[in-house]
Structure 1
């Protein structure tokens, strides 16, 4: 057997070894200081070969246990590090996926609004398709608007007219002079669509729809602006 140096066991067994040396000294007739062999055995390093055979297995077992514990601790630390890295990568991947989903939803909403605005413009009937009357009821004016404004935009269009004139195509603002369904200021700007802007609600509807589409992109975008500012 090789002479394996075992530290730690020496301290635990120093007293026992010293006692054995003392007994040996007495048996040999020495009554003075402990023998040199006992002093050497009591130092902080004991060779496995110097340990009684019955205790060598215990020392070896303790050493192997310490090694196993150290390996287990190292394995746990490595596993924890790997788990943290995997969690970090997953969080980064989730963030990227969420950002892409939000961007896709935003693009889809934008495309939907553009499609609705285009449908509104395409659905516009010409003013001349409506017969001229001496007067118009609110129901008649709303029926005109439904035929000139796309279905997806009509409610927004109607909300603005409700707030501006309550569908009175002859409404006049006493202080500013704003006129008609959309309270155009001055009212004469609606002449760009037709000379009968004062008396024909169809002319006013076409002007108002053109204004909302050109300035805001659609009646619903115009309504959003109106809600935020109470004018458009």
Structure 2
């Protein structure tokens, strides 16, 4: 009997010891589990925050889109305005060129001016009479004398000593420089006949006729 009791007690003690060990192991295991969960929770938050920070942000809301559209429209309007201005400038230039060409064409078709020919050189006097005689001697018709009269009346008033201080032109034909007239005679500074001869030669070489020279003078102001 005593032996049985002793054996039973030993078995009970053994079971208690095993129970205590199991309980301790359970507590330890639970602690590890709780600590692991807490660690996971603590580390999960920064990861989520980091993930949120790494997400691309929106690069423009409705206001940014509207601003881009307005800028594009403004640029398109500016380009259209510039193109229209260039087209207008080209059109104006073309129209001006056409008008100038038409004006030159009309001038060429009209030819040099003409005036009624005088009955004779007797209708003139002074240096004009000398000029008329030399016009005929040079092979021009009397119808050229009215043009020559208008031309040299404008240039010098038929004064052999007329001088343009600005340009240096001199004499009845307003030669520049005056020494050009020396080819017609050494007395070119004072002799109206010498000046007229030189002037008619210049007109013939450059404008063919006195009326041609007068027409050029009318359009440009010089001959």
Q: Which TM class, normalised by the smaller chain length?
A: 0.3 to 0.5
Q: What's the TM-score once normalised by structure 2's chain length?
A: 0.44
Q: What's the TM-score once normalised by structure 1's chain length?
A: 0.42
Larger Rg: 2
Larger % of helix: which?
A: 2
